[in-house]
């Protein structure tokens, strides 16, 4: 209910009563009674009724009964304002005149406040949706929209860099993330619905500006989480449920950077919407392969759009539609001064600075979801989803042959369609049952057009005239899963969440697994909580990236493999243990400590084994990953700060699939030795903070890493690196213009040049350097 509306209406009525002048004084009292109904004639119960005299004084109040009736006794004869209010209705009022010998009667008709209904019903349904996703036993790190706004780049911060501020997240080249020693293996959910992963590429598939809150769940996950389990990126999007508005943002600076973005949101009756989009370009689309601050041939153009619409069918049921699209174009940066490795007829020389490799990426997804609750015991959400993704690598036909001995035009696409259903049933105060299923059909297509030279058995070029081999293939596969679990509140201090999950796959291989899950939270004191859990995991390989079995066709060419063994890539199976504690210190500081251990069979990893910037999965027969994380978060008044420290070790032994990607010496070494995974980083840290001073915000964040692996079989490591980002944000509220934010940003403020990769290590093809110091500025207009 809008209280300002009620007060203003009552004041107007009181004024009208005073102006009428019809007020009598009498010693005898009378009764004023009446009824309150809605527009359809149904009684409105528990409505508040306030009776005011001509001077505006309250002379009586009551509430309506179940039949919508009310009565105020001992009312002196005169004219009164009868103001009525009730949840979900617009305030209403009537004028009533009471005489000495006749009781006054009044009938009030109230109209529903549709804006309030939408907000109340939307909040109820949001709470029901959140209840489908328990977190018992997991480690959770929450980043709100306000936290994102306080980052130096605000909503222009790419999503991967937002997630880098969470504990245990390590940065890699091409925008990749590694959580707790896993290569990728991240699952993205939007409003509780899993979005199938796209083909790996350089660009981010989701835009940060759609986020109202994002949670990163790691550790021993409850039974409803499967498929990708290193981390669950759970995004709750903005919506138009709470009002109308939007923003326009312009952001740019060094290296030809210019990005424009806009969003709009609102509601009309039971319908609400949120739309967002951005277009941008810069000259640093991919990490540069040299230490030069101005990479050669590194232009990128990127655009994305997102939409969310919902319609409240009734107070307990909502249907929603989501869609998103991302289109990216990348030039592949060059390394000047490379020496040719092969000779090409008709091309006596070629400057490597003039190479013209490019890659285009497209990712589309859409979701239709029906979500509801019975207002008490049962919540549910059923969603149908579809996703189409494609990646095309375009070589430099002459240059790639001269420097790599192969020029490969690769086109990969993948379409996934599926159903996800989740339910929650509150059996009683102690037991909450959750169950659900997921079905997905996926079709991957590959088309490769590869130019090569003839070669002898040792790979030496035997002719400078290339020839072309074409290869195309496709595969349809299926994933299916079901789970059931019980959240058992044993008492006010101890909660246990236990369940079973079944996963199956029919893709390049057939496999399945039944996985037990159990997690517990124990509140030792109101400020101290322990959690612990065990989860059995089943992780299928990325279907669209599984290498084809046509490697023998390249025998006798400069693209032949030293090793021809190509056992199929298997799903990973894990035993995962997690234990941790959180401590609240006063009202401002929260501390956390968490430890984990994963024992893996057929540990999955990804590597770039050729010139084309696409990834190939493979298995280590054995894997072990373990580590510990510390977190600290402080918020008080106008100051906030956080610090995350993580220690991790990730190792594998004996490559038992896709062996053709390795050299014989490296394969033999890994068969008999535990080796560090290429994404293993011993120590990772992230930190940040902001300070609000009047209408100005000073903010910083940063990351530190001890260095990723390099060298033969990952036996070495790169040096420690650090990056600090700073910004000043000024908040304006200008006449005729309204609210505007301006910000000035410095990325890598101390200008330290550092390598993420040096071109060596398992599955690493080229060097990549971290971002160089850059200055940006942005303006955001809110409306």
Residue 297 in domain? yes
Residue 118 lies in a domain: no
Residues 474 and 607 in one domain: yes
Residue 400, pLDDT score: 94
At residue 727 the predicted structure's pLDDT band, cuts being 50, 70 and 90, is: very high
Q: Is 572's pLDDT higher than 90?
A: yes
What confidence score (pLDDT) does residue 668 get? 95
**Cβ–Cβ < 8 Å for 76, 54:** no
Binned at pLDDT 50, 70 and 90, residue 561 comes out as confident
- Confidence class for position 86, pLDDT limits 50, 70, 90: confident
Instruction: Provide the pLDDT for residue 26.
Output: 34
Q: Give the rounded percent of residues in the chain with a pLDDT score beyond 70.
A: 93
Here the tokens at position 338 are: 């490379």
| Rounded CA separation 140/706 (Å) | 24
Which distant-in-sequence residues (6+ apart) come within 8 Å of 424 by Cβ? 128, 131, 132, 378, 379, 380, 432, 433, 434
The residue among 88, 112, 136 that closes a domain is 112
Asked whether residue 637 falls in the same domain as residue 673, the answer is yes
> How far, in Å, CA of 362 to CA of 303, rounded?
10
Q: Containing H/E element for 401?
A: helix 397-404
Range ranked top by mean pLDDT from 126-140, 390-404, 759-773: 390-404
User: Residue 298 has which token pair?
Assistant: 């590194």
Q: Among residues of the chain, what percentage have pLDDT more than 90?
A: 67
Q: Given this model, what pLDDT does residue 11 score? A: 44
Residue 381 pLDDT = 96
Confidence band, pLDDT 50/70/90 cuts, at residue 4 = very low
Residues 6+ apart with CB under 8 A from 609: 616, 661, 763, 765
State the residue for tokens 């809008």: 2
Predicted local confidence at residue 334, as pLDDT: 94
Q: Are both 39 and 136 inside the same structural domain?
A: no
C-alpha span between 285 and 271 (Å, rounded): 38
Please tell me the total count of domains within the chain.
Answer: 2
How far is Cα 744 from Cα 746, in angstroms, rounded to an integer? 7
Average pLDDT over residues 470-495: 94
**Collapsed DSSP state (helix, strand, coil) of residue 11:** helix
First-residue to last-residue Cα distance in the chain: 24
pLDDT of residue 25: 35
C-alpha torsion sign, points 77, 79, 83, 84: positive
Residue 105's domain is classified under what CATH number?
Answer: 2.60.40.10
The per-residue DSSP string of 587-601 comes to TTEEEEEEEEEEEEE
- pLDDT bin (cut points 50, 70, 90) of residue 9 is very low
Of 623 and 753, the structure prediction assigns the larger pLDDT to 623
Instruction: Give the model's pLDDT for residue 27.
Output: 41
The answer to whether the beta carbons of residues 616 and 609 sit under 8 Å apart is yes
Enter the DSSP assignment of 153: T
253: left (phi over 0), alpha (psi -120 to 50) or beta: left
Per the structure block, which two tokens stand in for 342? 């092969």
Q: Residue 572, exposed/middle/buried by CB under 10 A (0-12, 13-18, 19+)?
A: buried
**Domain check: are 86 and 220 in the same one?**
no
Q: How confident is the model at residue 612, as a pLDDT?
A: 59
Query: Residue 23 pLDDT more than 50?
Result: no
CATH number, position 531:
2.40.170.20
DSSP character string of 670-682: HHHS-EE-TT--S
Do 297 and 283 contact (CB within 8 A), yes or no? Answer: no
* pLDDT at residue number 403: 94
Smallest Cα–Cα separation from 753: which of 775, 767, 770? 770
Q: How far is CA 597 from the centre of its chain?
A: 25
CA 456/CA 555 separation, integer angstroms: 9
pLDDT confidence of 8, banded at 50, 70, 90?
very low
Are 132 and 84 in a shared domain?
Answer: no
22 with 143, same domain: the answer is: no
Q: Please report whether residue 380 resides in a domain.
A: yes
pTM reported for the whole predicted model: 0.84
pLDDT interval class at 33 (50, 70, 90): confident
Q: Supply the Cα-derived Rg of the chain in whole angstroms.
A: 32
pLDDT computed for residue 424 by the predictor: 94
Say what the pLDDT of residue 174 is: 84
Element (H, E) at 8: helix 3-20
Q: According to the model, what pLDDT value does residue 547 have?
A: 55
Start-end of H helices in 49-178? 114-130, 145-149, 159-163
Position 648 scores a pLDDT of 96
| Residue 105 sits in the same domain as residue 156 | no
Which comes out higher in pLDDT, residue 125 or 780? 780
Q: Indicate whether 193 belongs to any domain.
A: yes
Beta-carbon contacts of residue 496 (< 8 Å; ≥ 6 apart): 136, 487, 488, 490, 518, 519, 520
What gap in Å lies between CA 461 and CA 444, rounded to an integer? Answer: 34
Q: What confidence tens digit (pLDDT) does each residue in 707-718 have?
A: 999 999 999 999
Euclidean distance between CA atoms 749 and 698, whole angstroms = 14
Q: Determine the Cα–Cα distance for residues 351 and 240; give it in Å rounded to an integer.
A: 54
pLDDT interval class at 46 (50, 70, 90):
confident
Is 389 a residue whose pLDDT tops 90?
yes
Mean pLDDT of 462-480: 92
**629 beta partners:** 594, 646
- Report whether 217 contacts 146 (CB < 8 A): no
Domain residues for 605? 123-782
State the Cα–Cα distance between residues 497 and 616, nearest whole angstrom.
36
User: What was the pLDDT predicted at 100?
Assistant: 73
Model confidence band, residue 565 (pLDDT cutoffs 50, 70, 90): confident
Of 112, 133, 155, which marks where a domain is finished? 112
More confident residue, 94 or 456: 456
For residues 723 and 170, the answer to whether their CB atoms sit within 8 Å is no
636 forms beta bridges with: 639
644 close to 166: Cβ distance less than 8 angstroms: yes
Chain-centroid distance, C-alpha 470: 38
Domain ends where: 112, 140, 155? 112
> Residue holding tokens 């902001």?
690
Whether residues 137 and 60 fall in one domain: no
Query: Are 159 and 108 in the same domain?
Result: no
- Residue 719 and residue 629 in one domain: yes
Q: pLDDT grade, residue 548 (50/70/90)?
A: low
Interval 627-643: pLDDT, tens: 999 999 999 999 999 99
Sequence-separated (6 or more) residues with CB below 8 Å from residue 280: 257, 258, 259, 260, 301, 302, 303
Judge if 369 and 473 occupy the same domain: yes
Q: Does 394 score more than 70 pLDDT?
A: yes
Each residue's pLDDT tens digit, 755-767: 999 989 888 878 8
Whether pLDDT at 18 is above 50: no
Instruction: Evaluate whether residue 476 is within a structural domain.
Output: yes
147 in any annotated domain: yes
Residue 24 has pLDDT above 60, yes or no: no
Calculate the average pLDDT of the chain: 89
Residues 83 and 167 in one domain: no
pLDDT digits (tens, 9 = 90+) for 264-315: 999 988 899 999 999 999 999 999 999 988 899 999 999 999 999 999 998 8
The b-or-e profile of 345-379 (16+ CB within 10 A means b, else e) is: eeeeebebeebebbbbbbbbbbbebebbbeeeeeb
Collapse the DSSP code of 403 into the 3-class scheme (helix H, G, I; strand E, B; otherwise coil) and give the result. Answer: helix
Report d(CA 420, CA 418) in Å as an integer.
7
Domain assignment of residue 503, yes or no: yes
Residue 384 pLDDT more than 50?
yes
Which H or E run includes 398? helix 397-404
pLDDT, mean of residues 675-679: 93
- Asked whether residue 117 is domain-assigned, the answer is no
* pLDDT value for 609: 61
Span of 43-52, 157-166, 602-611 with lowest mean pLDDT: 602-611
């Amino acid at each position: 209910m809008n209280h300002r509306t009620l007060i203003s209406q009552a004041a107007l009525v009181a004024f009208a009563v005073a102006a009428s002048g019809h007020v009598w004084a009498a010693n005898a009292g009378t009764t004023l009674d009446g009824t309150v109904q809605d527009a359809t004639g149904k009684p409105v119960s528990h409505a508040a009724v306030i009776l005011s005299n001509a001077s505006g004084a309250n002379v009586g109040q009551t509430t309506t009964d179940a039949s919508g009736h009310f009565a105020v006794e001992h009312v002196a004869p005169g004219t009164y304002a009868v103001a009525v209010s009730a949840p979900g209705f617009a305030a209403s009022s009537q004028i009533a005149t009471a005489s000495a010998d006749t009781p006054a009667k009044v009938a009030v008709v109230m109209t529903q406040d549709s804006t309030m209904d939408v907000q109340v019903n939307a909040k109820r349904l949001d709470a029901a949706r959140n209840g489908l996703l328990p977190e018992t036993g997991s480690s959770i790190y929450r980043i709100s929209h306000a936290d994102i706004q306080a980052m130096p780049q605000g909503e222009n911060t790419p999503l991967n860099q937002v997630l880098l501020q969470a504990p245990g997240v390590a940065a890699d080249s091409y925008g990749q993330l590694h959580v707790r020693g896993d290569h990728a293996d991240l699952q993205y959910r939007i409003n509780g619905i899993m979005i199938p992963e796209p083909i790996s590429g350089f660009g981010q598939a989701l835009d940060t500006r759609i986020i109202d809150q994002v949670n990163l769940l790691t550790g021993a996950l409850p039974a409803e989480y499967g498929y990708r389990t290193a981390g669950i990126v759970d995004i709750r999007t903005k919506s138009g449920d709470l009002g109308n508005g939007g923003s326009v943002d312009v952001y740019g600076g060094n290296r030809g950077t210019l990005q424009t973005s806009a969003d709009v949101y609102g509601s009309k009756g039971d319908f609400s919407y949120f739309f967002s989009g951005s277009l941008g370009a810069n000259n640093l689309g991919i990490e540069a392969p040299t230490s030069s601050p101005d990479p050669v041939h590194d232009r990128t153009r990127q655009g994305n759009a997102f939409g969310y619409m919902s319609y409240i069918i009734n107070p307990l049921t909502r249907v929603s539609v989501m869609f998103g699209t991302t289109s990216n174009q990348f030039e592949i940066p060059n390394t000047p001064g490379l020496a040719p490795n092969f000779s090409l007829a008709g091309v006596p020389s070629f400057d490597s600075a003039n190479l013209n490799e490019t890659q285009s990426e497209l990712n589309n997804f859409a979701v239709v979801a029906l979500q509801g609750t019975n207002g008490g015991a049962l919540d549910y959400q059923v969603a149908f989803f579809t996703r189409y993704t494609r990646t095309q690598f375009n070589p430099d036909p002459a240059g790639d042959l001269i420097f790599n001995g192969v020029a490969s035009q690769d086109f990969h696409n993948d379409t996934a369609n599926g159903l996800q259903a989740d339910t929650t049933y509150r059996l009683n105060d102690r037991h909450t049952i959750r169950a659900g299923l997921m079905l997905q059909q996926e079709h991957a297509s590959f088309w490769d057009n590869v130019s090569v030279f003839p070669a002898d058995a040792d790979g030496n070029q035997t002719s400078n005239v290339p020839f072309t081999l074409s290869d195309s293939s496709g595969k349809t596969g299926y994933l299916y899963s079901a789970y059931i679990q019980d959240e058992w509140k044993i008492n006010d201090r101890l909660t246990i969440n236990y369940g079973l999950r079944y996963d199956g796959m029919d893709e390049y291989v057939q496999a399945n697994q039944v996985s037990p899950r159990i997690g517990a939270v124990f509140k030792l004191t109101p400020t101290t909580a322990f959690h612990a859990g065990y989860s059995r995991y089943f992780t299928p390989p990325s279907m669209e990236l599984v290498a084809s079995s046509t490697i023998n066709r390249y025998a006798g060419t400069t693209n032949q493999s030293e090793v021809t063994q190509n056992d199929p890539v298997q799903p990973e199976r894990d035993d995962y243990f997690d234990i941790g504690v959180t401590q609240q210190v006063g009202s401002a500081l929260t501390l956390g400590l968490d430890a984990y251990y994963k024992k893996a069979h057929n540990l999955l990893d990804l590597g770039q084994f050729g010139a084309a910037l696409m990834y190939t999965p493979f298995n280590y027969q054995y894997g072990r990953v373990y580590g510990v994380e510390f977190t600290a978060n402080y918020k008080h008044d106008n100051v906030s700060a956080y610090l995350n420290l993580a220690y991790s070790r990730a190792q594998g032994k004996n490559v038992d699939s896709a062996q053709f990607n390795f050299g014989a010496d490296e394969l033999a070494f890994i068969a008999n030795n535990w080796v560090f995974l290429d994404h293993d980083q011993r120590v990772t840290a992230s930190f940040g903070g902001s300070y609000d001073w009047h209408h100005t915000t000073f903010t910083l964040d940063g990351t530190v890493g001890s260095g990723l692996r390099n060298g033969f079989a990952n036996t070495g490591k790169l040096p420690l690196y650090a990056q600090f980002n700073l910004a000043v944000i000024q908040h304006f509220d200008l006449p005729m213009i309204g609210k505007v934010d301006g910000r000035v940003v410095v990325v890598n403020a101390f200008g330290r040049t550092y390598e993420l990769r040096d071109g060596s290590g398992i599955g690493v093809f080229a060097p990549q350097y971290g971002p160089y110091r850059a200055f940006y500025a942005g303006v955001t207009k809110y409306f």
